[in-house]
Amino acid sequence: DDKSKRPFFGGGEVLSPNPRGKRELAKEVEFHDKYMKMNATVWFDSNARREQLQRELKEVLVEETQDVKSSIFSVQEQKETYQEELTKFVTGEKRKSGAMMSPVSPQMRALGSSLQALEGEIHRVKHQKLMEKAKQEAEEQKRLQREEAERRKKLELEQKQNMEAQIALKQRQEMERKRKEEEDEARKVADARAREERENRIPEGVLMSPSASKWQKSCASVYDKHKALAADIFKASKLERLKLEKPIKKCVNQVSCSRQQIAFVGRSILEHLTNQYNQGKHFYSYCLVRLGDLIALQGPGLGAAKQLAFAYAELVSMVSESFHDLAYVVVAALHKSCPLTVPSLPKGYKAVQTDIKGYISLWAALCQLQPKEWFRSSEQSWSWQARFLNTIPPNESTAIALDAFLQIAGHKSFGAYRKQQVKLFSYAKEVFLTQLMKRAGGGDEDIDAVKSRIEKYVTMQLYATPPKDSFIPETDDSQHIRC
C-alpha cells in the first residue's frame, strides 16, 4: 500500500493512518501539551520575578536617575512583546502554522537576558548608591574631623593664650610685689638709718662715741617711758608722792655691807613694787623711777666706801631679777648725775672729784656683776673702757674716773677677756697716762697720785686678784657704815 505523507505541525514525515501512527500522534500531542504547560509555568514564574524586580527598580529609578526610567520603559516594551508571543502561543497560532514549539523560545531568552540585565542594573545602581553614600559619609566624617581638629586647635590656642596671660599677670604681680618689698625695705633701711643717726647724733660740744650715745639714749628711753606712765603722780602733791616713796627711801637707807641686810632690803622693795604694780602700772612706774634716782644719789658717798658700792649693785641685781627695767633706770639716773658714766664729756664739765669717783664706783660695781640675759655686765664693762680710751681726752677728772672703774671692775673684766683686757690695760698705761702727763705738764700732786695708782694697778697686775672691798660677808658687825 502506498503510504501518503501529510505535514504535522512542525513538519516531518507523513504518518500512515494506522493505529501505530495514531499512538505516535497522541504522544506528540501529549509532548506538545507538556511543554506548553512547562512554558506557561516558566512564564508565570518569570512574570512574578519580573514584577518584583520592576517594583524594586521603580523605587530605585524614582530616587536616582531618569536613565533607569528609560530602562523600565524598555522592559515594558519587552513585556508587551512577550505577552503577544505568549498569546499567540496559547491560542494555537503557532501550532496552526505547523511549526514545532521549541523548549525555550527566543522571546523567553530575550526576556531572561533583559531581566538579568535589569537585575544587574539594579544591583549596580544600589552599589553605586551605597558607594556614593559611603563616600558622602566619609567626606562628612572628614569634615567633622577637620572641624573637631580646628575646634581643638582653637581651644588649645585659647588655653595657651589664657595660660600666657596668667603667667604674664603673675609675673606683673610678682614684679609689683618685689618692687613694693624693695620700696618697703628701702624705706625701712632709710628709717633705720635716720633713727640710728638720731640715736647716734652727738650733742654739740659733747665728746662721746656714737655707740656711747646710742647706749645713753637706750637707757634714757626706759627711764622716760616709766616717767611718762607716772606723769600724773609726779604732778600730784608732795604728800601723796611721799606715801609711795617713803618705803623706798627707808629701804635704800637701810642697805649695809652684809648679804643678810641686802636680802632683807631687797625683799621689802620687791614686796612694795609688787603691791604697786597690782594697784596700777603708774604707781609701779613712779616707784621704779624714784628707786633708781635714790640709788644713783648714793653715788657721791661711795667714793670713800667702795664696799657699799658692791652692796648697792647686789641690791639692784636682786630687784632686777623680777623687774628688769630697774637696772636701766639706775644707769640712766647715773648718766644724768655723772656724764662720765656714759662715758661722755660735755664742754666745760667740772665736778667734785669725790662725786665722780663715787658715781663711777657704783657704775663699775654694776659692770662687775654676774652677767644676766637682761643685763650683760661684762660686755658693758668692755664697751665702757673702749669708748672711754678712744674718745675721752685725759685730764684730772677723766683719770680719776678711769682709776675708779679699773679698781672695781678690772678684775672681772680681766677674767672675761684675758689677753684683750691686758692689751687695754697696757694702752691705758702707755697712751692715756702719757697724754695725761703731757697735758698736765707735771707738778700737780693729784694728777701724779692718780697716775701712780693706775701704773701700779697695771704694772703689778693687781687686776689678777679681786678688789679687797668686793667681799660682802653674810652679816656685818659694823652696821654704822651707811651712805
At 196-230, the pLDDT tens digits run 777 667 888 899 998 999 999 999 999 999 999 99
Closest to 259 (Cα-Cα) out of 305, 316, 315: 315
Res 336 pLDDT > 90 = yes
- Please give the pLDDT value at position 109: 72
Q: Out of 194-198, 339-343, 357-361, pick the least confident.
A: 194-198
Res 5 pLDDT > 50 = no
Are 293 and 180 contacting, i.e. CB atoms less than 8 angstroms apart?
Answer: no
- Please give the pLDDT value at position 277: 93
- Reported as type and span, the H/E element at residue 345 is strand 345-346
- Reported as type and span, the H/E element at residue 82 is helix 66-91
Res 318 pLDDT > 80 = yes
pLDDT tens across 105-127, in order?
Answer: 676 677 677 777 877 788 888 88
* Mean pLDDT for the stretch of residues 54-66: 66
Res 11 pLDDT > 70 = no
* Residue ranges with strand state E in 129-216: 206-207
Average pLDDT, the chain: 84
**Percent of residues, the chain, with pLDDT higher than 90:** 54
Instruction: Please report, as a single letter, which amino acid is at residue 378.
Output: S
Q: Which residues pair with 478 in a beta bridge?
A: none
C-alpha of 310 from chain center = 54
* Residues with Cβ within 8 Å of residue 464, at least 6 apart in sequence: 411, 414
In angstroms, rounded to a whole number, what is the distance separating the alpha carbons of residues 34 and 458? Answer: 164
Instruction: Please report, as a single letter, which amino acid is at residue 459.
Output: T
In angstroms, rounded to a whole number, what is the distance separating the alpha carbons of residues 405 and 383? Answer: 12
Determine the Cα angle at 27 with ends 23 and 32, to 5°. Answer: 145
In angstroms, rounded to a whole number, what is the distance separating the alpha carbons of residues 90 and 43? Answer: 12
In angstroms, rounded to a whole number, what is the distance separating the alpha carbons of residues 206 and 345? Answer: 6
Res 372 pLDDT > 60 = yes
* Residues with Cβ within 8 Å of residue 232, at least 6 apart in sequence: 282
Q: How does residue 2 score in pLDDT terms, banded at 50, 70 and 90?
A: very low
| DSSP symbol at 461 | T
- Please give the pLDDT value at position 345: 94
Res 100 pLDDT > 60 = no
- Please give the pLDDT value at position 71: 61
Per the rule left: phi > 0, alpha: psi between -120 and 50, beta: everything else, 280 is: left
* Mean pLDDT for the stretch of residues 124-143: 87
C-alpha of 273 from chain center = 47
Greatest mean pLDDT among 47-61, 189-203, 285-299 lies in 285-299
* Mean pLDDT for the stretch of residues 36-49: 73
